[in-house]
Amino acid sequence: MRPLSFIILRLREKRSGWPDESKRLLRVREVSVSKSSDGNPFPIVVLISGSGSNLQSIIDHRQDFEPGIDICTVISNNPEAYGLQRASQVGVSTTVINHQDYPNRSRYDAALMTEIDRHQPMLVVLAGFMRILTTEFVNHYSGRLINIHPSLLPLYPGLNTHQRAIESADKEAGATVHFVKPEVDAGPIIIQARVPVYGTDSRQQLAARVLAQEHLIYPRAIQWFAQGRLSVRNDKVLLDGNESSKQMVISDEI
């Protein structure tokens, strides 16, 4: 196996606004690849609760690389989630398992696991799934359950991340893709995106800046996993079977 290298995408933003995607990516150093053995599309299940913008980014990039992504189904706890329409519009099956129909989290998560396992995914992707998962659920998918969170974890787990960053006068904010542990917004970090925080930023402005980067890093993390590059062992992220203490970061240089 070839030695591990890391991908770092250096991005630049002009204060007047974002450049288009083709101009944003200035420098790329690619990770050594290890493609899946059979070449078949890689099966995933995506869990959502809301608009599904990160789901849309996964849909848009699912054929951008080998072996490609097969979104087996999209599951939501919210029957009104707009992300269900996004999936249906491209022919991806959808399932609603409404948490209000269950007496407790354990019963709900058991039903959720039954539906997920019916599709036999190799990866379960949380894309704005606004439920705290039981330890049983997390352990059942240990090493193949990932989440994206709109902060530079371990900073600001939980909600209201952008407002908290502004109130703390942080100079940068961002998003994190990580493997899931029973603790909320914890787990080994796969990739982070860092963006500047300006003194004039509103919560909505910062959220939009971070969200644009979420749409870049989540498909990439899924790609690494699908190609057999990415795994976790003893709370350490592995790429191509190699451990490293370095974090893979997409950064915006002011």
Residues tagged active-site = 149
* Helix 53-61 and helix 203-226, axial crossing angle in degrees, nearest 10: 40
CA atoms within 13 A on the CB side of 233: 10
**117 three-state secondary structure:** helix
What values do phi and psi take at 5, rounded to 5?
A: -130, 165
DSSP state of 175: E
What values do phi and psi take at 209, rounded to 5?
A: -65, -40
DSSP state of 228: T
**10-12 vs 25-27, strand pairing mode:** antiparallel
Decide if 137 contacts 124 (C-beta within 8 A): no
**11 three-state secondary structure:** strand
- How many Å apart are CA 177 and CA 54, to the nearest integer? 12
Say how many C-beta atoms besides its own lie within 10 A of residue 187's C-beta: 23
- Which ranges of the chain would DSSP assign to H, the alpha helix? 21-24, 53-61, 83-89, 105-118, 135-140, 161-167, 203-226
